[in-house]
Amino acid sequence: MVDQPVDVEKKCSEFRRMFESLRNEIAKVIVGHTNIVEGVLVSLFCGGHVLLEGVPGLGKTLLVRTLSSALSLKFGRIQFTPDLMPADIIGTNIVMEDKATGRRTFQFQHGPIFGQIILADEINRATPKTQSAMLEAMQEHSVTSGGTLFKLPEPFLVLATQNPIEQEGTYPLPEAQLDRFFFKLLVPYSNREELGEILNRTTAGHDPQAEAIVSGEQIIAAQSLVRGVAIAPHVQDYAIRLVLATHPDGEFAVGMTDQYVRFGASPRGVQAVVLAAKVRAMLAERYHVSYADVAAAVLPAMRHRIILNFEGQAEGIANDDVLKEILEMTPKTLNDYNKD
């Protein structure tokens, strides 16, 4: 049964109010970074994970902790180091002895991955073996230990951080794992006004705290609502062509793609673009996706899903540069390809 227009309008308004309430609650602690906070919340309501990249001290860890405080969800932190092992993340079987009978049995001890908001701090410091322990959790929302499958609590969100400038003792994330992240968000430096406010909050005895205002059940319901947002076939095709434009020598590739890209975005890229566009539509109190909604989601959804070739790396081309040309050169409709 299709929702009546009044019901749809009411649901969109309720979603927008919940989104704004969460953003305002986070703003009590986090100064600035409006786009980053919005990107994290968009990913939350799409059921996707986020990779936060930025130099140390920009508030990435504080943002994740504040988000967990604003949600009635279980928080878990994993500090990635070169000596971290998969069992340190997933958990392991330990021997337990019954004092009354003396009988010994194996009992599974849950690792920190058994949370709902997981901070994977400096994820690129762990070895590929340990990084791979996150793949099943991020994709299937489950982990396997000793041949037994354990489901993770819902909703489940991984927010990983990495430092882009310090390369010693780090291991680049494999493409398969990067592809599991819904968004990659680049955390910028704070400006003059924001730094002033940070000092006022942190050096004058003022210690603001976020309060839990949204439950896990509300998030799951909102995620279901987002997936029901309508997208017209021609708008969906625009999203598809944007992703196909990242494939070198493809039908819709642009000049920079053919020259600088080795591998383009996967199908997860277009899934992320469309889902994020649906959230943006609801924030505009619409229950249908527009071209602008799609375009706004391209950079965070695909910047980590394209791999540059040697020429692109040698010339210092950024993935965002390629995506910006794709957005500029890709027509909204198929008919526009034939126009001079």
- pLDDT per position as a tens digit, 87-112: 888 888 777 777 777 777 777 788 88
39 within domain boundaries: yes
Asked which of 228, 256, 280 is the last residue of a domain, the reply is 228
In a shared domain, residues 28 and 142: yes
User: Residue written as tokens 């980053």?
Assistant: 36
Residue 28: per-residue pLDDT: 84
Residue 138: per-residue pLDDT: 87
Residue 2: per-residue pLDDT: 46
Q: Which residues contact 301 (CB under 8 A, 6 or more apart)?
A: 182, 183, 269, 272, 273, 276
181 within domain boundaries: yes
Reported in sequence order, the residue ranges of the chain that DSSP labels E, i.e. its strands, are: 49-53, 71-72, 75-79, 91-97, 104-110, 117-121, 142-145, 148-151, 157-162, 181-186, 214-215, 261-263, 307-308
Residue 45: per-residue pLDDT: 92
Residue 86: per-residue pLDDT: 86
- 309-331 pLDDT tens trace: 999 999 989 999 999 999 999 99
- Cα distances (Å, whole numbers) of residue 120 to 78, 93, 105, 158, 194: 5, 23, 32, 7, 26
Take residue 132 and report the two structure tokens written for it. 């791979």
Give the residue ranges of the chain where pLDDT is below 70: 1-6, 166-169, 336-340
In a shared domain, residues 47 and 166: yes
Total domains in the chain come to: 2
What's 317's domain CATH number? 1.10.8.80
The amino acid present at 296, given as its one-letter code, is: A
Among candidates 35, 328, 20, which has minimal Cα distance to 185? 35
Structural domain that includes position 66: 1-83+115-228
104 within domain boundaries: no
Q: For residue 9, with 0-12 CB atoms within 10 Å meaning exposed, 13-18 middle and 19 or more buried, which class applies?
A: middle
What is the enclosing helix (H) or strand (E) of 243? helix 233-244
CB atoms within 10 A of CB 237: 14
Among candidates 161, 179, 158, which has minimal Cα distance to 53? 161
92 within domain boundaries: no
